[in-house]
Structure 1
């Protein structure tokens, strides 16, 4: 049975749809404890509170907005600081997504660690 994110992506018309699907798969792979929904117009992941939401209106790259990204310890440098304590994870190609699988999952795991502290 498909969940809300899968249903959303199935209907999505986006030039980077395959990249979006891969990024979602990687995020899901970081923890089976993540909750999924479609909020604020895009696929959203929560762990105890909202963690990250993808913005499908941006079509030049795949972007996830980490709602309290300033709290995340990102050694990879993938997260870009954004207003109001947020951070952007911008992914420009399938190669970049696949090459950064461990880094993306590390960002998610860092969030989980913060929420469990």
Structure 2
């Protein structure tokens, strides 16, 4: 147990008992406990394996390379269609976690083996994502925008492309593009 992470498990939340049980199960696998993104994160040789986090209706384990796991029990969930590698295992009660403790541990061990084997997730390239017409037009119109966009990391490019293509209305897509142009020209990502 890492004392820097204790605050997460001692805070009064809807999922406190569930968090503590998940922590015990994961620590039994020998992973290193750290605090990342405000959540308990468990790693093997410095590589993130699984993270505990909670939401309004459930708490979850997030397996960073979940897409590479066998998932024989059908427990892993892709949070949204745009999430490429991570998968969640969701829980709504302590009883559920207690009943599935051995299964949870087996998934964690498999995730460790995936990391030991050096398996990598093949991410879609930014060019494979849909590009909103409104953004295509601005790439041609605004001087330096295309070069600035192409200079961004693939992850930042993907974030912008998803952000621009999600709204149904052209007006909303255009507003998002226009608002983001200065940031792109500064070489910044959507959340920088």
**Above 0.5 in TM-score?**
yes
- What SS does the aligned partner of 1:36 have? strand
Q: Which structure has greater helix proportion?
A: 2
Whether 1:85 and 2:96 are equivalent positions in the alignment is no
- What SS does the aligned partner of 1:73 have? coil
Q: Distance in 2 between matches of 1:2 and 1:26?
A: 15
Instruction: State the shift of 1:5 in Å.
Output: 2.4
Q: Distance in 2 between matches of 1:47 and 1:2?
A: 15
Q: CA RMSD in A?
A: 1.7
Structure 1 unaligned residues grouped into runs of 5+:
none
- What SS does the aligned partner of 1:64 have? strand
Whether 1:73 and 2:70 are equivalent positions in the alignment is yes
Larger RCO: 1 or 2 (CA < 8 Å, sep 6+):
1
Q: Distance in 1 between matches of 2:78 and 2:58?
A: 17
Q: Which structure has greater strand proportion?
A: 1
Q: 1:52 aligns with which of 50, 53, 57?
A: 50
Runs of 4+ in 1 over 4 A off after TM superposition: none
- What SS does the aligned partner of 1:84 have? coil
In the alignment, what sits opposite 1:64? 61
Instruction: State the shift of 1:2 in Å.
Output: 5.5
Q: 1:43 aligns with which of 26, 40, 44?
A: 40
Give the total of aligned pairs. Answer: 113
What's the TM-score once normalised by structure 1's chain length? 0.86
Whether 1:114 and 2:77 are equivalent positions in the alignment is no
- CA deviation string 1:64-93 (max 9, x = no partner): 221111011221222112412110110111
